[in-house]
Structures are given as structure tokens and as C-alpha cells.
Structure 1
Amino acid sequence: GEDTGIRFYGIPSGYEFTSLIETIIMVSRNDSGLNEKIKEKIKNIDKEINIKVFVTPSCPYCPRMAVLANKVALENKNIKTNVIEVIEFPELGEKYNVFGVPKTVINENIEFEGAVPEGYFIENLEKATKGG
């Protein structure tokens, strides 16, 4: 199949198993489930974006953020998503100052913690295309 730009690093155990299954279903159906207005904003992004979502297996809020990032990647080939299990990759956790999860880093210059609303996430993607 086609590369969707979606990657999971580490074993998706605990709550993260859900985000893996949801992502597999979403990709196999080629349907992000996002509303048309948001899809349009995502499709208009014409620069490369790299999203890192740091998660842990015991975090109940992490799957929501991981799946949202993956939905966005499915809608636009310029967007790549990396869901990183931070306990298994402590060096990345240290590099990106991960003290709480989920932590999202967009293009190395925009970062935030928590499972944020779709609108806030999309605003930050658009901001990333303008250099942060």
C-alpha cells in the first residue's frame, strides 16, 4: 500500500493499543473522520510538517492526541506523524523536554502538552507553515 507518513515508535501497549487499532482502521478505510471544514484547512497545507506525539501506555489522554495527529497525516501527504512511546525512548524524551504526556512537537518549533481540541491543533499546524 501507500505510505501514509504515520509511524509508531515503541510497543503500543496499554491505552496506546487503542490508538494503533483506530489508526489501522482509519487508514484501511482511507477515512480520517474529520469534518469537511477541517479537512479543507489541512489539504491547503503545502509545506512539509513533522509531528511528534510523545505518549505513555498508562496515559488515558494520549490516544486522543495520537489519533488526531494521525488523522491529519492521512489527509495530507506533506504531514508526517511519529507517535513515540517515551518510556522506551528516554533519550527523545530528554531531548524534547517531555515532562507530561501527551506532548506534541510540530516542526521542532511549536510544542504543547495535553489532548488539545481539533481547532487548536489545526491552528498550530497552520502556524508551523509560517515558521512558527
Structure 2
Amino acid sequence: MSLIPEKERRLVAEDLAAELSRPVKLLMFTQEFECDFCKETRQLVEELADLSDQLTLEVYDFIADEDVVKQYNIDKIPAIVILDEEGNDAGIRFYGIPAGYEFASLLEAIKLVGNGNLRLSASTLDMVKTIQEPVHIQVFVTPTCPYCPRAVVLAHELAYASPWITADMVEATEFPHLSMKYQVMGVPRTIINEKVHIEGAVPEQVLMPQLMQALTNGRN
């Protein structure tokens, strides 16, 4: 059974045709004996890749393809990485199935890499340009959370804007050990460099000072 309904397939295909000006590559990480939601995640990205000639999909085994796993620092599955047409890593990650409301986050990430249209403010971009050390953003979500995509899209835009930033969508119910570690009681919950925790889908003018503070704290 298709995971993307026929009516939605047409809408997604039209959206991608209008928005993608250059090719995008999806890397999906699973394993031979597929984990919970690995099969569904693979099916979802396979169906999605079929909707646009600009999309290609490569599927890797988390165990067998060790070199690729290390190259992209994949530490859990299912995982999705998005690359541009030249194979450059945009720092955008999805851990867990991007289903429900998070399907929109996946589409937005693909369109971002496929057209480069950032919606970040000039002041945010100025701050991002000053970053010269690694930043790891994790946004914990659930598929039924209508506010979560805003937090995920913002994190992914920041990752796209800076080679120093990596931003992960993490589906909280699929990784309960991480949800417990980071005390995820509600979603979205954003974790920056293991130090700063942000509740809710905050705008960039709220997120950025806390991100910069996380870097300052990391130096102390």
C-alpha cells in the first residue's frame, strides 16, 4: 500500500516540479533486518523519489556500508541525508520516519537544497557567518505535532546556511533513550550542542541568541 496517497502524490509532484531548479540526492540508511520504521521510511523516500526527475535516492546498509556511515556520521537509523547536485552535504538530517506533519519538513528540506532559497533574516545570516566551530542542533518531534515542522525547518535552514552547523530531526518515540537523555516531555524540543534546551517552536530571533550562547558556554 502506498504511503503517499494518490491525491497527495499529484500535489507533491507539482510542488517539486515548480520548486526544484537543480538535482537533489537523498541518502537513506537502513539495515538488512530492518529496524522499526526502517521499511516504512525506505518506502516513503522511494515513493517520493519517483515523483521528480530531479530527485535521486541511494540506500545504504547501516552495518555493511560502514565507510558511508562514517562519512556522514550516522549513529542511528532510519536516517535520511540530503545532498546537493554536486554531492555536497547540507548538514540536514532526519532520524526516524518523517511522517505525518514531518513529511512537510522533508519536502521543505528537499526544496531548500534544490533551489537554495533561504528565508532567514539578514541579522540571522550575519550571526551565522560568525560561527567558526561545530554546532549540532537536534529537534525532537512527533509525527502528530503540528508545531514541530517550524522548528525543524528553521534548524535545517541554519544548517544549509553554514558549513559548521548540522541539524537533525529526531522522532522522539523511535529513540526513547534519547528522549529520556534530553528529558523530552513535550515537542518540539531543541537541543544545541548538548548544552542549551529550547521548548517549543521559537522564531529565529529567539533561537539565535541561545545558539550563540551555547557556543560561548562551550568555550568556558
Shorter-chain TM band: over 0.9
Pairing 1:1-132 to 2, within 5 Å after superposition: 1-131=87-217
Distance (whole Å) between structure 2 residues aligned to residue 66 and residue 11 of structure 1: 14
Q: CA deviation at 1:77?
A: 0.6
Structure 1 unaligned spans of 5+: none
Relative to the length of structure 1, the TM-score reads: 0.96
CA distance in 2, matches of 1:94, 1:38: 31
1:88 Cα deviation from its structure 2 partner: 1.0
Q: Percent identity?
A: 48
Structure 2 counterpart of 1:91, one-letter code: H
Amino acid in structure 1 at the alignment position of 2:93:
R
**Deviation of 1:37 (Å):** 2.2
Q: CA deviation at 1:36?
A: 2.0
2:151 partner letter: M
Aligned with 1:101: secondary structure? coil
Q: CA deviation at 1:43?
A: 1.3
CA shift at 1:35, angstroms?
A: 2.2
Give the aligned partner of residue 68 of structure 2: none
2:129, 2:159 → 1: CA distance?
10
Counterpart CA distance in 2 for 1:28 and 1:128 is 30
**Moved beyond 2 Å, runs of 4+:** none
> Bigger radius of gyration, 1 or 2?
2
The number of aligned residues is 132
**SS of 1:87 mapped into structure 2:** helix
1:13-67, Cα deviation, whole Å (9 max, x unpaired): 0000001101110111122221222111111111111000000000000000000
Report the Cα offset of residue 129 of structure 1: 1.4
Q: TM-score, normalised by structure 2?
A: 0.58
CA distance in 1, matches of 2:168, 2:118: 17
Where 2:90 maps in the other structure, the secondary structure is: coil
